[in-house]
A and B are shown apart, each in its own frame.
Chain A
Amino acid sequence: METLAVLLKRITKGGTFIGGIFLIAGMLLLMSNIFGRFMHFVIPGSFELFELIMAIPVSFALVYAALQKTHVVVDLIISRFPPRLGAASEILTSVLSFAIWALIAWGGTLLAYENGLREMTDLLKVPYLPFRVVWLFCLFLFCLTYLVDLSRAVRRLLGK
């Protein structure tokens, strides 16, 4: 599992780099759009292009936040748990988190499979599929982070 954790970290590091590039690209696209509007020049489909572009940084951001343990948790009670009870509680929450994000990934996969390349933006006719694939890939990584957490919590519970 620790090998998987290292691998996840490396992939996510690359992902944040790609996400950062797309975030800046989205920002520049909006800036060009504003500039164009003042110069009476319209960038066709900039709105829908921006929406698609932002799917990439946000998808990788979700995984990165999970790896960095920044997803918000109310720890008023669990912070007072003894270590083994804390580990048992983490096993439960890791399983539930994994389950719900895996369900979201499964639903998203079915939707992507059904729509295929037919689902396109209104104006530019850009297919959603590549962006859905990135989103699903990130959901897959997201689920893996919970598997790593689960394995670590089990080891803590067993006192290893």
Chain B
Amino acid sequence: MSPVLVGILGFIVLFSLLALGLPIGAGMALVGFVGTWFLISDVAAFTKLAVVPFQTVTDYSLAVLPLFILMAQVVFVSGMGRDLFNLASKWLGHKRGGVAMAAVAGSGVFAAVSASSIATATTMGLVSIPEMRRLKYDPALATGAVAAGGTMGVLIPPSGALIIYGILTETSIGKLFAAGIIPGILEALFYILVIGILCWWKPKLGPPAEKAPLREKIKSLGGCGEIVALIIFVLTGLIIGWFTPTEAGAVGAFGAIIMCALRGRLTWDSFKTAIVETLKTTGMIYGILIGALIFNVFVAASTIPYVLSEFIGNMALPPHAILVMVLVLYFFLGCFLDVAAMTVLTIPIFFPLVVSLGFNPIWFGIIFVRMAEIAMITPPIGMNTFVIAGVVKEMGIPMETVFKGIIPFLVADFLHVTLLILVPSLSLYLVELMM
């Protein structure tokens, strides 16, 4: 049996096992182990199984994950999300659709400390949707804005998805973070523009709130100024080269603990919750990564990525046409797989292909993560829409309304991805400054 056929069989077995409910990490490790045994040798398979997991848990660059997750959890339990929303709401709320815009802006800043899309959507959903309901916002616009805004947690650094992409492809995490900043800001602006256009077209969708006096606006800046300063410090330090991504994670976590404690927002109980939640998420991600790194050995041995690159190369299609095909596939995969599964299952196959076509690996990381963000809101498995539907369940807003609400934001997503493809320097400008 040819290695490619073994590889294809491996994927079929893996997908079947995952469909039966096998955890992704265990499934990938199992198929990777058996496949490596089959394609290389039993000794190679056992050696990888013995060596890779401990190497993974003691890997310096991987430790960036628990540290940024700790930072996010500390900010989350201290209720800083509410302050960020209040700040944006005071400055934008009096405009048509202003509170929805504030939810998006708040999500963008919260995403910069949370590394998680679900945490962003939950936090902003809890604080902003009741306010939008009070102002008689259209439920579809209110829920759609928060669900879409939450996805920015996947792209705006520090981003868990970018870290996992960097680890799987051995691409610089620091450069990926730098590359995510401008596209992340642009994404927020796109969403705000969508809200603005919708409310200009149909003013009843988002009535303006009462205008806050200047004194209140300035006061709201004090609510979360230091967290914004911390984010800027961490990201600037990373780009300038003051510290490595792992050290940036430590600075972020340490800064968040000190700031929240000094504000009296971090009690011993909430600190313990932050630690426990950090470990829970860390365990979940490392479980997948260990499996993925064992599986990668099998994928490389199957030669599928190289054969696929050669096959597509012989099709004489322009690279951008192939890229669009890959992105369309990602869109459909994203409807059924969650972000972590989509990343670890597809990157070993598509990354070598995309790089062989001459695309920049860091730029592709941003495009891939954007597709992963879209996966967070597309039915039937759109985690953010589930989260928001859970938040608004007691308000009598059904899931269909949330899905209806995300449609304009999906259009903005596609336009944004197109822009990023057509203008790679939007992603690579800050990376070039790091050189």
B337 surroundings in chain A (CB, below 8 A): 74
Write the B283-295 contact mask toward A (1 if CB under 8 angstroms, else 0). 1101110100000
Asked if B18 is an interface residue, CB under 8 A from chain A, the answer is yes
Q: Is the CB of A97 within 8 A of B253?
A: no
Question: Chain B nearest CB: distance from A76 CB in Å?
Answer: 6
Contact among A16, A27, A65 for B70, CB-based, below 8 A: A27
Asked if B51 is an interface residue, CB under 8 A from chain A, the answer is yes
Q: Is the CB of A23 within 8 A of B278?
A: yes
B250 surroundings in chain A (CB, below 8 A): 26-27, 30-31, 34
Question: Chain B nearest CB: distance from A20 CB in Å?
Answer: 4
Question: Chain B nearest CB: distance from A16 CB in Å?
Answer: 5
From B21-29, B182-190, B401-409, the one touching the partner chain is B21-29
Chain A interface, number of residues (Cβ within 8 angstroms): 56
B18 surroundings in chain A (CB, below 8 A): 73-74
Contact among A20, A72, A77 for B25, CB-based, below 8 A: A72
Q: Is the CB of B58 within 8 A of A72?
A: no
Question: Chain B nearest CB: distance from A62 CB in Å?
Answer: 5
Q: Is the CB of A54 within 8 A of B51?
A: no
A59-B57 contact in complex given A30-B246, A93-B22, A96-B30, C-beta closer than 8 Å: yes
Q: Is the CB of A76 within 8 A of B381?
A: yes
Q: Is the CB of B279 within 8 A of A71?
A: no
A135 surroundings in chain B (CB, below 8 A): 53-54, 57
B253 surroundings in chain A (CB, below 8 A): 27
Q: Is the CB of A97 within 8 A of B243?
A: no
Asked if B336 is an interface residue, CB under 8 A from chain A, the answer is yes
Closest to B237 in A: A34
A-B contact list, 17 entries, CB within 8 Å: A20-B275, A23-B278, A50-B246, A55-B58, A57-B279, A62-B57, A65-B283, A66-B287, A72-B340, A73-B22, A74-B21, A74-B336, A89-B21, A96-B17, A100-B33, A107-B49, A107-B51
Given A51-B63, A104-B29, 10 more pairs with CB closer than 8 A: A23-B70, A30-B246, A30-B250, A31-B251, A34-B250, A50-B63, A70-B283, A74-B24, A74-B336, A100-B29
Residues of B within 8 A of A (CB): 17-27, 29-30, 33, 46-47, 49-51, 53-54, 57-60, 63, 66-67, 70, 242-243, 246-247, 250-251, 253-254, 272, 275-276, 278-284, 286-288, 290, 336-338, 340-341, 380-381
